[in-house]
Amino acid sequence: MSSSDKRQAADTPGHAKIRQMSRGSYDRDLAYEILDQGLVAHCGFIHEDRPMVIPMAYARVGDRVYIHGASTTRIITNNSAGVPASLTVTMIDGLVVARSAFHHSMNYRCAIVHGTARLVEDPSEQIEALAAITDHLLPGRWNECREMMTKEHKATGVLVLEIEHASTKIRTGGPVDDKEDLGTHVWAGTVPVVTALGQALAAADVPDGTPQPASIPAARRKFV
Amino acid sequence: MSSSDKRQAADTPGHAKIRQMSRGSYDRDLAYEILDQGLVAHCGFIHEDRPMVIPMAYARVGDRVYIHGASTTRIITNNSAGVPASLTVTMIDGLVVARSAFHHSMNYRCAIVHGTARLVEDPSEQIEALAAITDHLLPGRWNECREMMTKEHKATGVLVLEIEHASTKIRTGGPVDDKEDLGTHVWAGTVPVVTALGQALAAADVPDGTPQPASIPAARRKFV
């Protein structure tokens, strides 16, 4: 996300993989790891000759990504053979503050996959997809819920993106300034960006004594 | 991000605006507010008949969004008249945990803008754009840095997206379950998702005594 990123090489031990690929990579395993860690996917479609980018809940299963796609099914309903689609998952890890404006950047992990998207029509594949999407953020939640009803399945649009191409973009580390700018009394460094789950809050109409289930992250230690 | 979102109406006081628009909106002011709060934009372009979605640093100035676009300038360098583009900024505020899998959702704020993107060629517009992008995440940082050098300006690709259409999608509140599922001892509620800046870390080669400038968020209170 900066012109200077091109020069960036991860320089911390244990990042040999990242250093090898000099920030861009077609390592499918690494892309899948990022997909599996992400919170939301930004899906790209072409609709009436325009690029559409829509945030969606998702989950990866093998070489497929399932997308909870109510709002986009209209794009592909009439394309049973599928349409070209892409999906990008980005996690921002920090702001990189350099001495010069030019070298400001962000630390981030990003996976970009391309493929063909189609509507999931097979009922058993739809169930597998919805279980994966539900469990992606709250592992085990699917089995804590009652079974879905037929009318619910019919009302749910699920898309599958068959991954044909996967790549990653990663930046780590501190600012990379020009030599001439070092030694000046201009502050430089990084500001971490942290995305975390807070303490779960029960809905007001949950009966007293209902236990918080295993899928919901335990209450964090509180500092009062 | 759920089939049940369509039924969702914000029901908390002070959300009259959101209730009025029943989750989707073409309110440009609200879209601009979300753009101004976001960390990263997912930009959509069409390249060789495929949708591309790329995370980028950005800033809004009036009815334009400037994008720090090194990696995408190749897409539009040969299109001085501009290309169709979109830009989506999403903030996830919580996981919505319902009694049924069907009604799981996320709370989020999303702005989607569409328009025409072109390369910024006017030098003074490029400076204004880079200052806005630098200050978007760290207000005031641009003026703390030395002036950019001509070679740096030449090496920096900046795109401008003229906003022709803006919309928002917002979900707030707790789960909206079916009446038949209420009263069961299945836990339901929300899990907050928080994205925050951590404590700034100076680069190892910053001379001792260099003050942390005003643009860098102050150290938070620490709990040891």
Q: Is the pLDDT of residue A18 over 90?
A: no
- SS3 for A184? coil
pLDDT digit string, tens, across residues B112-167: 999 999 999 899 999 999 999 999 999 999 999 999 998 888 888 899 999 999 99
- Per-residue pLDDT at B79: 66
Residues of A whose CB is below 8 A from B90: 40, 42, 55
To the nearest whole number, what is the mean pLDDT of chain A? 85
Residues 6+ apart with CB under 8 A from B18: B10, B170, B172
Query: How far is B5 from chain A, CA to nearest CA, in Å?
Result: 10
**Residue B204 sits at the chain A interface (C-beta within 8 Å):** yes
Looking at the DSSP bridge assignments, the partners of residue B112 are: B88, B167
Query: How far is B122 from chain A, CA to nearest CA, in Å?
Result: 18
Output A56 or A11, whichever has higher pLDDT. Answer: A56
Helix (H) or strand (E) holding A50: strand A50-56
Helix (H) or strand (E) holding B193: strand B189-197
Looking at the DSSP bridge assignments, the partners of residue B55 are: B42
- Per-residue pLDDT at B223: 55
Task: Tell which A residues from 149 to 178 touch B, by Cβ distance under 8 Å.
Answer: 149, 152, 155-157, 169, 174-175
Q: What is the b/e burial string over B152-184, where b = at least 16 CB atoms within 10 angstroms of the residue's CB?
A: beeebbbbbbbbeebbbbbbbbbbbbeeebeee
The pair of structure tokens assigned to A125 is 């594949």
Cα–Cα distance for residue pair B224/A155, rounded to 1 Å: 50
**Residue B92 sits at the chain A interface (C-beta within 8 Å):** yes
Q: Where are the beta strands (DSSP E) in A76-216?
A: 83-97, 105-119, 158-171, 189-197, 201-202
- Per-residue pLDDT at A75: 60
Distance, CA of A159 to chain centre: 16
Q: Is the pLDDT of residue A14 over 90?
A: no
Per-domain boundaries in chain B = 3-192
- Per-residue pLDDT at B9: 34
pLDDT digit string, tens, across residues B15-71: 333 333 345 667 899 999 999 999 999 999 999 899 999 999 999 999 999 998 665
Are B197 and A194 an interchain contact pair (Cβ–Cβ within 8 Å)? yes
Which CATH number among 3.30.360.10, 1.10.375.10, 1.10.760.10, 2.30.110.10 corresponds to the domain B3-192? 2.30.110.10
Q: Is the pLDDT of residue A156 over 80?
A: yes
* ipTM score of complex: 0.87
Output A188 or B78, whichever has higher pLDDT. Answer: A188
- Owner of token pair 């628009």: B21
- Per-residue pLDDT at B115: 96
Residues of B whose CB is below 8 A from A88: 42, 53-55
